Structure 1
Amino acid sequence: MNRRNFIRLAGGGTIAAATAGSLAACGALGSHYPAEAVEAWNGPVGETDLRRRAVAYAITAPNPHNLQPWLVDLREQGVITLRTDRERVLPRTDPLGRQILIGHGAFLELLVMALAQQGVASQVQLWPQGELPMVLKDWDERPVARITLQPGGQPDPLFAQVLLRRTPKTDFDTTRAVAPELLTRLLASAPASGQTALRVGGTVAADQLPALRTLCWESAQVELLTPSTMMESIHLTRVGPAEILQHRDGISINSPFVRAVAALGLFDRTQPPAEGSAAYKSAMGRFEGHSRTAMGFVWITGPNTRSDQVQAGRAYVRLQLQATALGVGMHPMSQALQEFAEMAPHYERVHQLVLGQPAPRTPRDATVQMFCRMGYTPDPAPPTPRRALAKFVRV
């Protein structure tokens, strides 16, 4: 069925709009997923092995497009080796693999915290066989990190937020400002400057928000209007309980309305919505709402080596755990940071706005690694699906 007939059948685009709007938000229209799909958020129930218990917490880490691109090797006693699942990357949206490695850093930080909670310290060696190449297509099987377990881990207060952490993918409440004091407390959760070359910053200043909101909105349009990046998201969309349970990853949609559309064979995954169509307008409206309702912004900057990318993920998940503790929502708006060709003007712009300097030209140049909006949501965000623990473990 072609798009024109689909929109006509949908009564002027209502169905198409609902579908594309959900997709654009990279989240669900409904807040309820099958219980098995979100069982990871109950913690490692019944798991006794301390390494597997730690991995069970780590798989709740935030990651791009909910790909969950982690593999852990437990064959060496007293060691956890972290690798990338090369089938779970984003060659169009993230051609250099930077966002994927930030997701690995988030996993690594939760893993270390979960081990410490069990009285186990971690000696983390990044890139024991050398860094992955700078182009995604050249990646191989070399590990991202080798974690050696040692006695004496000290529990981290932020660990209490691990299973409560959520990423809100809805409009924020514009009647509730984010206080400067809260921003200060949030930024204090990042690693000390002496431990990493990364820096964290942010703003809730009313005179700075409009330019940053516009950046989010304009860069989101580029991702939606670039067929290759939009189709990458469409191919990762899971509609209804059966698909969500089958995959337990990607972009999950479980609203009754969209499920009915899919059951009728009307959920078109062969092409992006046409510019100017009702589907297009709904998708744009959703992203515009997210951008315009940002009540503050937080960012992580620093060099752009592979190690820095992993460390950025470790810092980011700590920020989000602290945001959880403080009761404020924190949602990445990463479009302007994506390194595909069509995004280049906005990549330049985000570096000018955040760092006051041009976009990086070498891995040693200052780079905006994470860029997130902040605010308060009317309703709690739901947990997102995670695959079963066994899918991540190699023994």
Structure 2
Amino acid sequence: MNRRNFIRLAGGGTIAAATTGTLVACGAVGSHYPAEAVEAWQGPVGETDVRRRAVAYAITAPNSHNLQPWLVDLRESGVITLRTDPARVLPQTDPWGRQILIGHGAFLELLVMALAQQGVASEVLLWPQGEMPAALKDWDNRPVARITLKPGGQPDPLFAQVLLRRTPKTDFDTTRPVAPELLARLLRSAPVQAPLSVGGTVSDAQLPALRTLCWESARVELLTPRTMMESIQLTRVGPAEILQHRDGISINSPFVRAVSALGLFDRSAPPAEGSAAYKNAMGRFEGHSRTAMGFVWIAGPNTRSDQIHTGRLYVRQQLQATALGVGMHPMSQAVQEFAEMAPHFERVHQLVLGRPAPRTPQEPAVQMFCRIGYPQGEVPATPRRPLARFVQA
């Protein structure tokens, strides 16, 4: 999800002083991120250790708000122990940590694929010390998974897409429909094991209601101060901040850098209703919703293990989308579980599964809900922290 315009200009208005001179004062005016911030997408250059090489690929996994909440322990020979960083969670938009653990599943799938590419098989044991508690405040250092290395890994054809995978956070091309045959290939991208299920649609009869759901649920997140502030606080503006953090929501466009150089940012509160920044943010999310040319989803029970399995399946879908040349972008608001989202949480289950929203973890829940379509330009890689930040060795 793109939250790049959650920025309030001083006074809530526009800035006429963003002149060419100001842009030049900012340095280079390209919107690409600093090369060092996206170096992970070049692969594990210079790494010779099998496990570290695998982790170097896995840190490119998709994850909510680009928090990169993974920690790996390599202190046991022949084993990779995956943990979560309890400080890198989203208590407002993801109060039960479901999206965080889906990101762990994506990391785990890329890790297993990267090991197999090196001729190493994996024996994966989830939750060797028990599942993570329901409340984020009770999360601790228990392992998410213990991966034991074995001989005999077989390369996966989708591995070729790992470093090419991108998440498009722009409007899609509404002149290019997604063919039903392409959707079918996307949904067949990975073996689906019960109790998980996948689905999708490019039907003109179904798209309007789902687009409206995306837009209305995005408005709830944007208009709820605490959920919007969660994104604002993770916003990184300009090369210096992006390089300092290499996570969160990175902004490096010429105009925004000019505004930052003028000292006219206010990240202490949501943008005032009716302000230019408010209208810009609303317009961006409305564009994302209205230009969706199809939708895909993953559903299943809401246990901790099912959340991990969802992430593994989801990243394979994104890799297949990359291979097919189509963009796939989570519109996760409607499946978020904070109180203000409840009506849309109910609606997404009615529209997608034809049943009420789940009341227990064992009932089917919509775990991932993504729009698909064709991007209108280049989709940039997202910053990643250095490999050493993730590894205990």
Find 1:6's aligned residue among 6, 11, 17.
Answer: 11
C-alpha spacing 1:266/1:307, structure 2 compared with 1 (3 Å)? same
Q: Contact (CA 8 Å) 1:239, 1:262: kept in 2 or not?
A: yes
Q: Contact (CA 8 Å) 2:13, 2:275: kept in 1 or not?
A: no
Within 5 A, what are the aligned runs for 1:49-64? 49-64=49-64
Q: CA deviation at 1:152?
A: 0.5
- Give 2:26's aligned residue: none
Distance 1:339 1:258 in 2: 32
SS of the residue aligned with 1:384? Answer: coil
Letter in 1 for 2:253: S
With 66-75 and 255-264 compared, the bigger mean Cα shift is at 255-264
- Give 1:18's aligned residue: none
Distance 1:110 1:317 in 2: 8
SS of the residue aligned with 2:46? Answer: coil
- Give 1:359's aligned residue: 357
- Give 1:19's aligned residue: none
Distance 1:385 1:312 in 2: 24
- Give 2:129's aligned residue: 129
- Give 2:223's aligned residue: 225
SS of the residue aligned with 2:131? Answer: coil
Q: Contact (CA 8 Å) 2:225, 2:270: kept in 1 or not?
A: yes
- Give 2:189's aligned residue: 189
- Give 2:150's aligned residue: 150
Distance 1:331 1:30 in 2: 24
Distance 1:7 1:349 in 2: 33
Within 5 A, what are the aligned runs for 1:157-168? 157-168=157-168
Q: CA deviation at 1:134?
A: 1.2
Distance 1:41 1:8 in 2: 37
Within 5 A, what are the aligned runs for 1:291-370? 291-370=289-368
Distance 2:327 2:31 in 1: 16
C-alpha spacing 1:356/1:44, structure 2 compared with 1 (3 Å)? same
Distance 2:12 2:304 in 1: 45
With 252-261 and 238-247 compared, the bigger mean Cα shift is at 252-261
> Structure 1 residue runs of 4+, over 3 Å off?
none
- Give 1:272's aligned residue: 270
Q: CA deviation at 1:279?
A: 1.5
Q: CA deviation at 1:136?
A: 1.2
Q: Contact (CA 8 Å) 1:30, 1:253: kept in 2 or not?
A: no
Distance 1:30 1:325 in 2: 28
Q: CA deviation at 1:4?
A: 8.7
Letter in 2 for 1:161: Q
C-alpha spacing 1:53/1:358, structure 2 compared with 1 (3 Å)? same
Letter in 2 for 1:48: T
Q: Contact (CA 8 Å) 2:10, 2:264: kept in 1 or not?
A: no
Distance 1:204 1:5 in 2: 42
Q: Contact (CA 8 Å) 1:190, 1:200: kept in 2 or not?
A: no
- Give 1:379's aligned residue: 377
Aligned pair 1:69/2:73, yes or no? Answer: no
Distance 2:224 2:14 in 1: 26
Within 5 A, what are the aligned runs for 1:78-227? 78-193=78-193, 196-227=194-225
C-alpha spacing 1:381/1:30, structure 2 compared with 1 (3 Å)? farther
Q: CA deviation at 1:6?
A: 2.6
C-alpha spacing 1:271/1:124, structure 2 compared with 1 (3 Å)? same
Q: Contact (CA 8 Å) 1:31, 1:382: kept in 2 or not?
A: no
- Give 1:260's aligned residue: 258
Letter in 2 for 1:7: G
Distance 1:312 1:5 in 2: 42
Distance 2:199 2:134 in 1: 26
Letter in 1 for 2:381: P
Q: CA deviation at 1:358?
A: 0.6
Q: Contact (CA 8 Å) 2:221, 2:227: kept in 1 or not?
A: yes
Q: CA deviation at 1:304?
A: 0.5
Q: CA deviation at 1:191?
A: 2.2
Distance 1:251 1:351 in 2: 29
Post-superposition Cα deviations, 1:97-144, rounded to whole Å, max 9, x if no partner, equal: 000000000000000000000000000000000000112111111010
Structure 1 unaligned regions, length at least 5: 16-28
Distance 2:10 2:146 in 1: 54
SS of the residue aligned with 1:238? Answer: strand
Distance 1:91 1:145 in 2: 22
Q: TM-score, normalised by structure 2?
A: 0.94
Post-superposition Cα deviations, 1:35-86, rounded to whole Å, max 9, x if no partner, equal: 0000000000010000000000000000000000000000000000000011
Post-superposition Cα deviations, 1:341-389, rounded to whole Å, max 9, x if no partner, equal: 1000000000000001111111100000000000001112000000000
SS of the residue aligned with 1:294? Answer: coil
Distance 2:82 2:292 in 1: 35
- Give 2:5's aligned residue: none
Post-superposition Cα deviations, 1:285-338, rounded to whole Å, max 9, x if no partner, equal: 110000000000000000110000000000000000000000000000000011
- Give 1:239's aligned residue: 237
Q: CA deviation at 1:225?
A: 0.2
Q: CA deviation at 1:190?
A: 2.3
Q: Contact (CA 8 Å) 1:300, 1:369: kept in 2 or not?
A: yes
Structure 2 unaligned regions, length at least 5: 1-7, 20-28
- The CA RMSD over aligned residues, in Å, is 1.6
Q: Contact (CA 8 Å) 2:327, 2:374: kept in 1 or not?
A: yes
> Percent identical across equivalent pairs?
82
Within 5 A, what are the aligned runs for 1:22-37? 31-37=31-37
